[in-house]
Amino acid sequence: MASIFSRIVAGEIPSWKVAEDERYYAFLDINPLAEGHTLVIPKKEVDYIFDLDAETYAGLWQFAGRVAKAVREAVPCKRVGVAVLGMEVPHAHIHLVPLQSEADLDFRKEKKQLSPERFAEIAAAIAAAFNKQ
C-alpha cells in the first residue's frame, strides 16, 4: 500500500505544498514544531532515508537545501534546523524547522496549532521565495 506521503504526491491527500520538481516534493508538516516546519521527500517511496540510492539521496539533500533557503527567507528565524526521524511515516523525509533557539528542535514539545488560513499563508510565502530562486 502506498505511504501517506506517496498519496500526498499523487494528490489523493491534500497538503500545503511549498516546492516540487520531478523527483522531490516539499510541504508543511501538519503538526509543526514551529511555523514553517517543512518536510522534504523523494517522490520515490523508500522507507529509510539511508536506503535511498546514492543519486536520489544526494538530490534529496540538494533539494532540501534550496527549500531551507526559501523557508529562512519566508519565516523569521535564526537558522533552519534539520532532523531525520522517520518514527511515524515509513517514507524517507527530512524535517526543516525554523529555529529561534535549540529548544525549537525538541520533538517532544507540544506542537503548534495553526489555522488552515495560516498554513496557506506560510506555504504561499515559502513557495514564492522558492520560485524566485
CB of 115 to ligand AMP, least distance (A): 15
Known catalytic membership, residue 93 = yes
Binding of residue 55 to ligand AMP (CB under 6 A): no
Grid cell digits, residue 108? 517532544
Binding window for ligand AMP (CB under 6 A); candidates: 25-33, 41-49, 57-65, 74-82: 25-33
Binding of residue 4 to ligand AMP (CB under 6 A): yes
x/- site string to ligand AMP, residues 67 to 86, per CB under 6 A? ------------------xx
26 pairs with which residues across the strands?
19, 40
Question: Strands of 94-99's sheet, edge to edge?
Answer: 17-20, 24-28, 38-42, 94-99, 79-83
> In whole angstroms, what is the distance from residue 13 CA to residue 32 CA?
18
> In whole angstroms, what is the distance from residue 90 CA to residue 101 CA?
29
Catalytic residue among 37, 91, 93, 95: 93
Binding of residue 30 to ligand AMP (CB under 6 A): yes
Task: Provide the annotated active-site residues.
Answer: 93
